[in-house]
Amino acid sequence: MAVLALMLLAATTPGFSAPVSGTRQHRVAGCGRFSFSSSSCHAAGGPIIVAGDPPTFVSAPGRRIVAVGDLHGDLYQTRAALVMAGVLSPESDCHLWTGGQTVLVQVGDILDRGEDEIAILSLLSSLNMQAKSQGGAVFQVNGNHETMNVEGDFRYVDPGSFDECMRYLEYLDGFDGNWDDAFLNWVNVSERWKEEYRVLPNGDWLPLNFVKKQKGFAARASLLKQGGPLACELARHPVVLVVNDWIFCHGGLLPHHVEYGLERINKDVSNWMQGSTEGSDGPDLPFIATRGYDSVVWTRFYSQDSVERTLRAWNLSSLVAEQTLKSVGAKGMVVGHTPQTRGVNCKCDGKVWCVDVGMSYGVLHSRPEVLEIINDRARVIKDRRGPYDEMEVLDYL
């Protein structure tokens, strides 16, 4: 069992103060990955400690937790959700973390259906670097659309995302292969590159522009193939994350997943995305996490609408949720994957929270909502009138 303790309160953060004395930064071979440890931290409630590589268990004493659902390539709605959650500055041209010691968890499906996927990944990575310097953290959980793209399944890719892949590779060339710097800064320049690209010859994605389509597919494949740089970026993140007493995953966690082992699941998926395992020519697709109606990223066992289920199925899901939570030692579960037409809500007798509201323009284009957890008390923050306007907060006991 790979356990990596990370002290996240002191980290090198571009554009911010110098690292705290005693901070060490380690590159994980093959994927430009980093772990951080510090011999000194003074955050209220103690340091954030992460076990597992990718992160699996997180101890974040006294922290406010915010969960955000599926983003699907919509940068505008992503910003709106994060501003509403109080973790992002409202100015669109400066992506500053305003969450202090908040722990932000995004539950997967950043890819597909929208045209700013890499920009969103860049934004979350940048916010994580900033958050760690303030005693907070940002975590991402991979969903089914992340695993589909690493498999080479591009059926749900927005045409603009193929363009973004080509633009990003061109932008990366200017960094002499320095992936980390280019990736972190992409969100700050992506809009300008998009506008400049559109005025170039063949800047539009035309149905008959087969050459451009081929280039777009090739660019995306080079980034997201197993062992590709963007696949390795995704490999840094888990498919199951436990923060304090709460489980976060995309589809849902079931008893046989727990029996298999949460760290083992995360490691299997990470190795598969990187395209390497010890003593093997190549890793097999981790079926228990990424394939099938009862896999971690695909199951809708908890999130399906009540009108689509029998009373027996409803009662069964509540019993299974209780069994799963008990086996992990958790009090609640947060999932995405299934758009909730009535907004963020709880199911299974209050044991499971469903936070996918279909906010992306490629899904339902609904108004963003987020879930806030403080001292194991969950509440929905949503905005009726529009982005960055007056908020309504609903409390759940």
Task: Compute the half-sphere exposure of residue 213: CA atoms within 13 Å on the CB side of its CA.
Answer: 9
| pLDDT at residue 36 in the model | 37
At how many degrees (to 10) do helices 75-84 and 117-132 cross? 30
Rg (CA), the chain: 20
The pLDDT value given to residue 391: 47
One-letter-per-residue 3-state SS of 300-354: CCCCCCHHHCCHHHHHHHHHHHHHHHHHHCCCEEEECCCCCCCCCEEECCCCEEE
97 in helix, strand or coil? strand
Tens digit of each residue's pLDDT (9 = 90 or more) over 11-66: 333 333 333 323 323 333 334 333 333 323 345 589 999 999 999 999 999 999 99
What does each C-alpha distance from 174 to 15, 181, 185, 203 come to in angstroms? 20, 11, 12, 20
Question: For the chain, what are the domain ranges?
Answer: 6-395
Q: Is the domain defined by 6-395 classed in CATH 3.20.20.70?
A: no
Q: Encoding tokens for residue 201?
A: 């010859």
pLDDT, one tens digit per residue, over 185-207 is: 999 999 999 988 775 655 555 55
Q: What is the pLDDT of residue 158?
A: 95
Q: How far is CA 32 from the centre of its chain?
A: 18
Please tell me which residue in 145, 237, 250, 257 is annotated as part of the active site. Answer: 145
pLDDT value at position 345? 96
Residue 145 designated active-site: yes
Question: Which of 347, 352, 348 shows the shortest CA–CA distance to 331?
Answer: 352
Ranges in the chain, pLDDT < 70: 1-44, 199-208, 277-283, 306-308, 384-397
Give the pair of three-digit tokens for residue 303: 């999130």
CA–CA gap between residue 297 and residue 240 (Å, rounded): 9
What pLDDT shows up at residue 7? Answer: 37
What is the per-residue pLDDT for 211? Answer: 79
Please list, in sequence order, all residues whose beta carbon lies within 8 angstroms of the beta carbon of residue 343, skipping any fewer than 6 positions away. 357, 366, 369, 380, 382
- Please count the residues of the chain: 397
pLDDT attached to residue 93? 78
**Can you give the pLDDT at residue 304?**
87
Residue located via tokens 């006991």: 397
Q: Both ends of the chain: CA-CA distance in Å?
A: 36
Residue 324 tokens, joined: 């799963």
Q: What is the pLDDT of residue 312?
A: 77
- Residue 85: what pLDDT? 97
